[in-house]
Amino acid sequence: MEITNVSEYEAIAKQKLPKMVFDYYASGAEDQWTLHENRNAFSRILFRPRILIDVSKIDMTTTVLGFKISMPIMIAPTAMQKMAHPEGEYATARAASAAGTIMTLSSWATSSVEEVASTGPGIRFFQLYVYKDRHVVAQLVRRAERAGFKAIALTVDTPRLGRREADIKNRFTLPPFLTLKNFEGLDLGKMDKSDDSGLASYVAGQIDRSLSWKDVKWLQTITKLPILVKGVLTAEDARLAVQAGAAGIIVSNHGARQLDYVPATIMALEEVVKAAQGRVPVFLDGGVRRGTDVFKALALGASGIFIGRPVVFSLAAEGEAGVRKVLQMLHDEFELTMALSGCRSLNEITRNHIVADWDLPHPRPLPRL
């Protein structure tokens, strides 16, 4: 059967992968309300297309932190990609490079920063978890820098791991033939079996719960790389991120895997954009499955978006070719959305091209007689 959209890869991944692995990728925290809301919220934004505009030429290129990319669609960090496919992060890196866009490598990748760099040219960011042992952090950041990574995406929403009940039921752990490659030499590459989620136990043991804004400042003293703060959902924290010297903000709820009942990222986006006041770019991840979703995020002020689960699902289904196809489908859908909305370049996409349900006055229910 021919695959015609990004979402179709999920069912194929479910057939192919062991239950423990698929559930790890697919599930969210607790009731998974935010998991569904990340998708559903996009359907509450409608288009106001402009007609009779010459859309014979469309330019989707953009720059992110000074790096030119082919489209405002990038790859979010997702952990342990070799559970999905033997080539794992190598395949993802090659697909991103072929598409002319940015890949973000997870701290918890099953391939090291050096291995990913060895796949060839490409613009890559490194996602960082801050471990209790700051020497580990400093060493990892230096290695990413040496390997040619161009920015650090600092995850700030995980002082503790969210409660992911599928992982508890499945007693999730990293398969024995894999390691968290970036930590292999530090005796932090393996995950012990546990009575609940092996990853939750690993996080409880290793990740620093005391992480605060002063650590964002500290990070700037150990690296010249720009720092993106990933996991911002409020105006208050957007302002603090700017004050702390962040080079950009990623509006993210960690794929709905941390605190359940936070808003969908597309719902939180505009508040964060307004608070940033154009001083730093604001990006979004969470729930993007269509080119129309990309357009909606840009209309609400995002400078670009990141995709997570579509990458691991397509990787499981078809390896590198699957990830390439996901990027191509989103590219083509986004280009079509631009054309049909009357936008020839990204700077022509405005807030006036959409109407959100929160823009409309909601009629009060009539009092019962």
Q: How many CB atoms lie within 10 A of CB 191?
A: 23
Burial of 280 (0-12, 13-18, 19+ CB in 10 A): buried
Reference 330, options 65, 1, 2, 5; nearest CA is 5
Residues belonging to the binding site are 24, 77-79, 106, 127, 129, 155, 164, 230, 252, 254, 257, 285-289, 308-309
Q: How far apart are CA 250 and CA 281, in angstroms?
A: 9
Residues belonging to the binding site for FMN are 77-79, 106, 127, 155, 230, 252, 285-289, 308-309
36 an active-site residue? no
Give me the DSSP letters along 165-216.
Answer: HHHHHTT----TT---GGGGGGT-S-----SS-HHHHHHHHHB-TT--HHHH
Q: How far is CA 144 from CA 30, 197, 209, 223, 323, in A?
A: 34, 28, 23, 10, 23
Catalytic residue among 254, 331, 353, 362: 254
Helix (H, G, I), strand (E, B) or coil at 162: coil
Residues with catalytic roles: 254
